[in-house]
Structure 1
Amino acid sequence: MNSMERVFGAIRGEQTDCLPVAPYNGNFSIHTSGYTLDECYLDGKKLAEAQYRAWELVGQDVVVAQSDQYYMVEGMGVKTEYYHDRLPGVREVPVKELKDVGKLRPIDPYRDGRAYVYIEAVGHLAEKLKGEVPVRAPGCGSLAMAAHLMGINEFVMELAVTEAEEDTEKEKYIMEMMEVCTETLCRFAEACVKAGASIVQDADSLASLDMISPAIYEKYALPFEKKFFRRLNLLKKDYSFATLLHICGNNSRVAEKLADTGCDILEVDYKVDLSYYKEKIGDRVCLLGNINPAGNVMSGTAEDVREEAMTAIQKAAAGSRFILGSGCEIAVDAPLENVQALVKLGHGMPSSPAGRKQN
């Protein structure tokens, strides 16, 4: 099996030749390849080349065209500064108060901000990998995008005050901002699919229950996640790809809601007990995770990584619908041998189809 067959077999719950392994290693791959971060988030060809070179060293089953978080919101008015070998920093936001939301418009992903950099990188990777390895596009989620437009602390405070005071006017503004952000994410993801992405995502870090309550998640994030996946699923009649939801933190209290979004893959953070997710929703969605990217992968040994990975496999691999990976993004300076050990371990493990348990 090649990686494309392996990953999509796991999504469908089929037996594969081994466990697919897909650490989220965008910026790690940039450094591993000898590029600087700013070279790649400003140049789609360099970003693609960096990811391809790192894939040749690591051999993971999914290659991701990812680096920073501001490529879409720059097209909506966020002003950033670029630094040598560092991620961009925000200099000014367009939404100083909620009534400024009326000025926002969804982006044209081919012209606004730096979305085109990532679309170009997806296209180059798809061409180089020739359909044998899935290409995962980035995709900042709607709630996280809204926070970038206003400032994270300011936006979270507005959410809390709006709910505490039952302020319908503020709620209207927030919902309007969520609609604009969701339309922007949909347009970007559709462009990535057309460029050759095999996996498109809604990565909504701010929707984490580490940041907001379950009630706020269900009101302000869940409906827009569902809308995103419904819209992207319409493209499946013409293109072959899968959809992915990533939310940081421990979201066990809304696990079944996450499966309700309609995503094909749920990327699970390291704070979550994989066995709980496997029991609750493992028959409805393919789980991806959940090695701690800032733990053993960053500062442990290869043997430490293998032991942690075996725990994840024992909890979630039975019955297929499991991809071994990191709970979030691999640290930029993680040792190459640790990421290689993760991939090698997974590729040495048998897979079992849905309905069968591993011995």
Structure 2
Amino acid sequence: MMKTTMKQWIDSIIKNNNTVAVPVMTHPGIELINHTVKEACCDGQVHFEAIKALAEKYPTAAATVIMDLTVEAEAFGAEIHFTEDAVPAVIGHMLNNADDIKALKVPSLKAARVPAYLKANLQSARAISDRPVLSGCIGPFSLAGRLYDMSEIMVLIYQDPDAAHTLLAKCTEFILKYCKALKATGVDGVVMAEPAAGLMSDDDCKRFSSDYVKYIVEQVQDDTFSVVLHNCGNTGHCTKAMVATGSAAYHFGNKCDMREVIKDVPPTALAMGNIDPVSVFKEGTPEQMYETTTRLLQDMKQYPNFVLSSGCDTPPHTPTENIDAFFKALDDYNNSL
């Protein structure tokens, strides 16, 4: 465990004149240790070694795990498609109506790959002591969409909101249980990925996502453990609903304007984002990365609670030259202050 609590870590970031970086980045670590994405997603030891390798190579302010939005759905019984070099994907959907929702059982933490992810977090918490380790989980609405089908869940919330709430309650029950187990491993927080909530209006996002996220936050967040709410589906229209969860930090995708969304984030909470993980991190040139990062840092100059990050998980085969340019831009910016 860190010598400082998460509350102290957040306070120190806000009080520090320099900006820090916490890119959501594990895939470059998998490549560093010569393993495949499939191996890291199925073997907790490989996953941990990738996290550790990245922490040793890059000056991130926190270490992060893979953003895998299939772990919880698989535990419920969803079919998952694996390839060697891409993140897993849910195949089809397993629920078709209100009766299916009613019959759905909340799984145990021994189901599917949950034990492998708990192992990766436990090993990381034990081995990495110079910075926080942020675990990962899916958000309630995004999980519900993977079980019921994303298009169909959008219809269900209007046609049968009671059934939708029943499903969300079951998803929340499992995610809360998982987050408590992650906290027990000794990690310092969790990045909760709730991108599907960005498909809704601010009001619906609050009713069908944020109210459930808030319930989890109230159960697990304290001075030693923080929830980072990630919603890369938010274009700026549901930031208020995100903030209503009371999370310690908010992580934004590249679809939104950081200059606008940060205005809705409380000054005591971190606002993290939002360099495009595909067009800049993976497909851009080092020069483009440097320029884009520098521009974002300049835009965020007046916000001490800003944390530089990728807009989402950096994809497999992101060039190391671009990652180096990202950190070079941060160094040059901080040295210019």
TM-score, normalised on structure 2? 0.90
Matched, 1:288 2:272: yes
Once residues 130 and 4 of structure 2 are traced to their aligned partners in structure 1, the CA distance between those partners, rounded to angstroms, is 5
Once residues 278 and 153 of structure 2 are traced to their aligned partners in structure 1, the CA distance between those partners, rounded to angstroms, is 27
Q: 1:98 to 1:343 in 2, by over 3 A?
A: farther
Residue of structure 1 equivalent to 2:258:
274
Residue of structure 1 equivalent to 2:174:
184
Equivalent of 1:212 in 191, 197, 200: 200
1:38 is displaced (CA, Å) by: 1.1
Matched, 1:50 2:50: yes
1:281 is displaced (CA, Å) by: 2.4
Deviations for 1:237-285, whole angstroms, at most 9, x for unmatched residues?
6xx1221000113342232332221011100111222222233325242
1:127 is displaced (CA, Å) by: 1.3
Matched, 1:127 2:117: no
1:191 is displaced (CA, Å) by: 0.9
Residue of structure 2 equivalent to 1:22:
22
Contact 1:264 1:285 (C-alpha < 8 Å) held by counterparts: yes
Q: What is the one-letter code of the residue matched to 1:117?
A: A
Once residues 118 and 305 of structure 2 are traced to their aligned partners in structure 1, the CA distance between those partners, rounded to angstroms, is 28
Once residues 332 and 47 of structure 1 are traced to their aligned partners in structure 2, the CA distance between those partners, rounded to angstroms, is 14
1:295 is displaced (CA, Å) by: 1.7
Q: 1:26 to 1:157 in 2, by over 3 A?
A: farther
Q: How does 1:50-129 map to 2 (within 5 A)?
A: 50-91=50-91, 93-109=93-109, 111-129=110-128
1:172 is displaced (CA, Å) by: 1.2
Q: How does 1:240-319 map to 2 (within 5 A)?
A: 240-319=224-303
Once residues 286 and 333 of structure 2 are traced to their aligned partners in structure 1, the CA distance between those partners, rounded to angstroms, is 17
The number of equivalent residue pairs is 336
User: After the TM superposition, which of the residue ranges 47-56 and 311-320 deviates more from structure 2?
Assistant: 311-320
Once residues 200 and 26 of structure 2 are traced to their aligned partners in structure 1, the CA distance between those partners, rounded to angstroms, is 27
Q: What is the one-letter code of the residue matched to 1:115?
A: V
Higher relative contact order (CA 8 A, sep 6+): 1
Once residues 5 and 310 of structure 1 are traced to their aligned partners in structure 2, the CA distance between those partners, rounded to angstroms, is 30
Once residues 301 and 248 of structure 2 are traced to their aligned partners in structure 1, the CA distance between those partners, rounded to angstroms, is 16
1:78 is displaced (CA, Å) by: 1.0
The DSSP-based 3-state class of the residue aligned with 2:278 is coil
The DSSP-based 3-state class of the residue aligned with 1:139 is strand
Once residues 347 and 96 of structure 1 are traced to their aligned partners in structure 2, the CA distance between those partners, rounded to angstroms, is 51
Q: What is the one-letter code of the residue matched to 1:222?
A: S
Once residues 267 and 204 of structure 2 are traced to their aligned partners in structure 1, the CA distance between those partners, rounded to angstroms, is 27
Residue of structure 2 equivalent to 1:140:
138
Equivalent of 1:174 in 145, 164, 167: 164
Aligned-residue CA RMSD (Å): 2.6
Contact 1:7 1:20 (C-alpha < 8 Å) held by counterparts: no
Once residues 48 and 25 of structure 1 are traced to their aligned partners in structure 2, the CA distance between those partners, rounded to angstroms, is 13
Q: Which runs of 5+ in 2 are unaligned?
A: none
| Identical pairs, percent | 20
Deviations for 1:124-143, whole angstroms, at most 9, x for unmatched residues?
111111x2121111111101
1:188 is displaced (CA, Å) by: 0.9
Deviations for 1:113-166, whole angstroms, at most 9, x for unmatched residues?
21121111011111111x21211111111011011112223323333xxx2xxx
Residue of structure 2 equivalent to 1:202:
192
The ranges of structure 1 where at least 4 consecutive aligned residues each deviate by more than 6 angstroms after the TM superposition are: 2-7
Q: 1:6 to 1:102 in 2, by over 3 A?
A: closer
Once residues 305 and 83 of structure 2 are traced to their aligned partners in structure 1, the CA distance between those partners, rounded to angstroms, is 40
The DSSP-based 3-state class of the residue aligned with 1:201 is strand
Q: 1:74 to 1:80 in 2, by over 3 A?
A: same
The DSSP-based 3-state class of the residue aligned with 1:72 is helix
Once residues 302 and 125 of structure 2 are traced to their aligned partners in structure 1, the CA distance between those partners, rounded to angstroms, is 31
Q: 1:314 to 1:94 in 2, by over 3 A?
A: same
1:7 is displaced (CA, Å) by: 9.5
